[in-house]
Amino acid sequence: MRIADNMNYTQMNQNIMKNRSESSKLQDQAATLKRVTKPSDDPVATTRALTAKTDMAGMDQYEKNINLARAFLEYSEQSLGDLNEALVRVKELAIGQANEAGANAITRKTVAAEIDQILNQVVQIGNRRIGERYLFGGFKTTAAPFSSRGEYHGDDGEIMIEIDKSSYIAMNMPGHKVFLGQDAASRSAFAEGKNVDRTPEGIKQTQLREAQEAEIAELKKTQGLKGPEVRGPASVLSAAHPEVPVGDDGVGLQPEGSDIFNVVRSLSIGLKSNDTTTIQESLERVDDAINQVVMSRAQVGSRVMALDSAFQTNQRLSGDAKALVSSQEDADVYQVFSDMSKNQTQLEATLNSSSKMSKLSLLDFLR
């Protein structure tokens, strides 16, 4: 086979360009410490890395949501703790003034002044806010939920925040539940260790069930049914045992709650009027109010625990995603410098051989 000089020159150029191209690629990897800098470097690795980065972006947002909800709930728990301490103080004062032996009209009026101060403190706790958002106003977080007399101007909204894929948790506790005892017949699933469906679909099902319950109750009321009970949907609470209401999932319902403002206010009135009976009756009502606050704190605490668990899971998944991206994109530094040394040797050899071949001509063989 006849090999022309042009073929030799072409082959030399190709070898030199190949070595220089490889050298440039290795230098980029050494400078960036990345094996994959563009999709054409490794399409499969690029796809996996992009998927992992998308997941990481979602995890970063979940972490922000968790931190926001934790701050809201922790401050709510602190406020409920202050409320509990205030009610405990109210109980101490009531016990001291509940008998005739150790108290009289003068001491009771003095204690009533302190009770009024505690009542103002309870109102202030109900109107606490974090930043510009009120804690206990439901969805109405821009206006104070309680008036000076304890009238509630918020709503029953629970702000649901996503902490994982299709996983939601309420970051607030509406004030009408904590302070007024309204909707206290809601399920104590957190206290019972039950799993609560906080997704939008779960909330929709809960609202549908409550509407069905109200419809059955209204039907029985209008028809005056006292014998056989009206059969409703399977999800509707049984009316056969109203003293121990039980839901379709077996979770008990709590009794009617206490209006904390009225409890404290009625005690103050009893003290000012020197009414021992009212003072003594207030003791049990104060106990009910304390239990109501304790139950609310338990719910808030369970949510904080759920957030901590979600945060740890999110951190672990984020670490796994970062490791996956690193394994797909990052370059092996030792391998890169080893390849650079090898490529440099190959390039020098190519240049040397090309230089020697380029010096040969027909005249060298005619001498």
Q: What is the pLDDT of residue 268?
A: 93
Q: With CA atoms as reference, report the closest residue to 123 among 156, 79, 172, 92.
A: 79
Each residue of 100-156: pLDDT tens digit? 777 888 999 999 999 999 999 999 999 999 988 999 999 999 999 999 888 999 998
Share of the chain above pLDDT 90, in %: 38
Whether 175 contacts 154, CB under 8 Å:
yes
Pick 360 or 258 by higher pLDDT: 258
Write down the pLDDT at residue 220: 59
- The token pair at 21 is 């191209």
Cα–Cα nearest to 116, from 85, 137, 93: 93
Rounded to whole angstroms, the Cα distance separating 311 from 288 reads 35
Helix runs in 97-165, H state only: 105-126
Model-wide pTM > 0.85? no
Q: What is the DSSP letter of 97?
A: T
Q: How confident is the model at residue 231 (pLDDT cuts 50, 70, 90)?
A: very low
Asked whether the predicted pLDDT for residue 199 surpasses 70, the reply is no
Residue 240, Cβ density class (10 Å: 0-12 exposed, 13-18 middle, ≥19 buried): exposed
Nearest 5 degrees, angle CA 123-CA 124-CA 127?
90
Q: How far apart are CA 191 and CA 289, in angstroms?
A: 17
Neighbours of 178 (CB within 10 A): 27
pLDDT over threshold 70, residue 42: yes
Q: Which two tokens stand for residue 52?
A: 């992992």
